[in-house]
Amino acid sequence: MILMWSPKSPFVRKVMILAHELGIAEALALQREVAVPRGVPNPAILAVNPLGKIPALIRDEGPALIGSAQILDYLCEITPGGRALLPASGEARVMQLRWQALADQLTEVLLDWRIAATGPLGIDAARRASFEAKTRAGMALFEAEAPLLRAAPFGPGPIALTCALGQLDFRYPDCGWRAAFPALTRFAAETAGRPSVAATAIVNDQGDSGPDLQLTFE
Amino acid sequence: MILMWSPKSPFVRKVMILAHELGIAEALALQREVAVPRGVPNPAILAVNPLGKIPALIRDEGPALIGSAQILDYLCEITPGGRALLPASGEARVMQLRWQALADQLTEVLLDWRIAATGPLGIDAARRASFEAKTRAGMALFEAEAPLLRAAPFGPGPIALTCALGQLDFRYPDCGWRAAFPALTRFAAETAGRPSVAATAIVNDQGDSGPDLQLTFE
């Protein structure tokens, strides 16, 4: 299997963390690609995912899969033991997918915020306020549910949250979320010790600049 | 169960079409809410989904679910016969989820395009070109796979595509996609005859304006 990959995509990171947890990271051949959020999309990605995003998983048989949620579902299904991380049914599955949806939406807000702010026109105040309000509300929900997340298997839900918090650290390094959210801080400290998380830390090796995204938790 | 609902959200429509197909539409109490894509988020939505989007499904027991993909997964699981539309495993499931991911990303492009274009700063040329390139590539993929979609059960994949095409009709009524994509036109004509699709047509009953989004297929 070939994974269209980048070391600074939080959604690619979801796939890589799960692959490490399942013990199948070596089975993924990584093909580095740059997703272009504005302007001419990368034609190599477009040929696999016409919507121009990564991750995309090129299977040995059958069409490629797109979207981190489906790729996680697929890898859990085809890997022995995968159902321990994402059960096929029941409330344990519901909670994993619910946390994943919440964390993915939080990550999308952080990405959309940056895409809007880095455009030539900049970002208007109303849109910025919307992104900030959603980020604060999302963090508050996860703070309240952090004990449940710490007790759950390290499946798609906790993995997606790890990637959302990683994106916050990557693009808003001075926001001070750890001072404001002690339960989430404990969650992040525990997960940081997992080999799957340490092996997939976001790397900005090709560099990029952009506006100073102002976000401060108090 | 209570569904946070709007008659002009394509992702809410996905849930409603599936509910009609499963015969459980009457079991959903609809609570109309307006999602605010910029500025102060709707507090009623924020209390259930801190990321401020609909659909959100308030369950009788257990926390609310967000994201149309999880809600579809959940409704298929709890409804007798639901696995005919979304199998629990295997390639039939993979294809339904793949089409759903592709169509959802296409719908997101159309929504993001409009949100960017309706802001006070307008949209820059590079971002507009990106949205258009992705829309064209997405439509081309679905045109090629339309025969497979017509042959598959009317599950999350074909439902999500129906909602993406409906969004195109709603916001880009003069784009002429039917002249350019004959196989997709046949798919849409067949699905338009389904009671679930007819009962959930997008209604812009509170009106809204916005820029003329230019998109033309040839």
Residue B120 located in a structural domain? yes
Of B203 and A143, the one with more pLDDT: A143
A78 with A95, same domain? no
Mean pLDDT of all residues belonging to chain B: 96
Residue B217 located in a structural domain? no
* From B51, B109, B122, residue closest to A102, measured CB to CB: B51
Q: Which whole number is the average pLDDT over A140-164? A: 98
Encode burial over B64-96: b for 16+ CB neighbours within 10 A, e otherwise.
bbbbbbbbbbbbbbebeebbebbbeeeebbbbb
What tens digit of pLDDT does each residue of B5-38 get? 999 999 999 999 999 999 999 999 999 999 998 8
Residue A2 structure tokens: 């070939």
Residue B139 located in a structural domain? yes
A77 with A107, same domain? no
What tens digit of pLDDT does each residue of B135-186 get? 999 999 999 999 999 999 999 999 999 999 999 999 999 999 999 999 999 9
Task: Kindly tell me the burial class for residue B127, based on how many C-beta atoms sit within 10 Å of its own C-beta (0-12, 13-18, 19 or more).
Answer: buried
Q: Whole domain around residue B105: which residue ranges? A: 91-198
Rg of chain B over CA atoms, in angstroms? Answer: 17
pLDDT the model gives residue B214:
85
pLDDT the model gives residue A214:
85
- Tell me how many domains chain A contains: 2
What is the CATH classification number for the domain harbouring B163? 1.20.1050.10
Domain closes at, from B62, B84, B106: B84
B186 with B147, same domain? yes
- Cβ separation B40–A67 shorter than 8 A: no
The whole-angstrom distance between B14's CA and the closest CA on chain A is 16
Mean pLDDT of all residues belonging to chain A: 96
B38 with B100, same domain? no
Domain closes at, from A36, A63, A84: A84
Q: Which of A101, A106, A88, A158 is nearest to B56 (CA)?
A: A101
Residue A105 located in a structural domain? yes
The whole-angstrom distance between B201's CA and the closest CA on chain A is 25
Q: How many CA atoms lie within 13 A of B90 on its CB side?
A: 7
Amino acid at A100: Q
Domain closes at, from A32, A55, A84: A84
User: For chain B, what's the residue count?
Assistant: 218
Alpha carbon distance A85, A89 (integer Å): 12
pLDDT band at B215 (very low <50, low <70, confident <90, very high): very high
Residue B176 structure tokens: 């002429």
Task: Kindly tell me the burial class for residue A17, based on how many C-beta atoms sit within 10 Å of its own C-beta (0-12, 13-18, 19 or more).
Answer: buried
Q: Which of A68, A20, A79, A93 is nearest to A164 (CA)?
A: A68
B80 with B95, same domain? no
- Cβ separation B101–A67 shorter than 8 A: yes
A74 with A151, same domain? no
Q: Which whole number is the average pLDDT over B45-74? A: 97
Residue A214 located in a structural domain? no
Contact residues on chain A for B94, CB-CB shorter than 8 A: 62, 65, 70, 74
A38 with A120, same domain? no
pLDDT the model gives residue B208:
79
Residue B203 located in a structural domain? no
What is the CATH classification number for the domain harbouring B69? 3.40.30.10
B124 with B152, same domain? yes
Q: Is the pLDDT of residue A184 over 90?
A: yes
What tens digit of pLDDT does each residue of A28-58 get? 999 999 999 888 999 999 999 999 999 999 9
pLDDT the model gives residue A173:
92
Residue B7 located in a structural domain? yes
Alpha carbon distance A204, A198 (integer Å): 15
A51 with A16, same domain? yes
Encode burial over A131-143: b for 16+ CB neighbours within 10 A, e otherwise.
bbbbbebbbebbb
Q: Is the pLDDT of residue B218 over 80?
A: no
A126 with A179, same domain? yes
Q: Which whole number is the average pLDDT over A134-162? A: 98
Interface test with B, best of A94, A99, A161, A184 (most B CBs within 10 A): A94
A75 with A21, same domain? yes
| Cβ-Cβ contacts under 8 Å for A39 (sequence gap 6 or more) | B126, B127, B129, B130
Task: List the helix and strand counts (H, then E) for chain B.
Answer: 9, 4
Contact residues on chain B for A73, CB-CB shorter than 8 A: 97
Alpha carbon distance B165, B79 (integer Å): 27
Contact residues on chain A for B44, CB-CB shorter than 8 A: none
Q: Which parts of chain A fold into alpha helices (H)?
A: 10-22, 43-46, 68-78, 91-118, 125-151, 156-171, 177-180, 182-192, 195-198
Q: Is the pLDDT of residue A211 over 80?
A: no
- Cβ separation A66–B41 shorter than 8 A: no
What tens digit of pLDDT does each residue of A78-105 get? 999 999 999 999 999 999 999 999 999 9
Residue A202 located in a structural domain? no
Q: Over pLDDT 70: what percentage of chain B?
A: 100
pLDDT band at B81 (very low <50, low <70, confident <90, very high): very high
Contact residues on chain B for A63, CB-CB shorter than 8 A: 95, 98
A99 with A186, same domain? yes
Strands (E), chain B: 2-5, 29-32, 56-58, 65-66
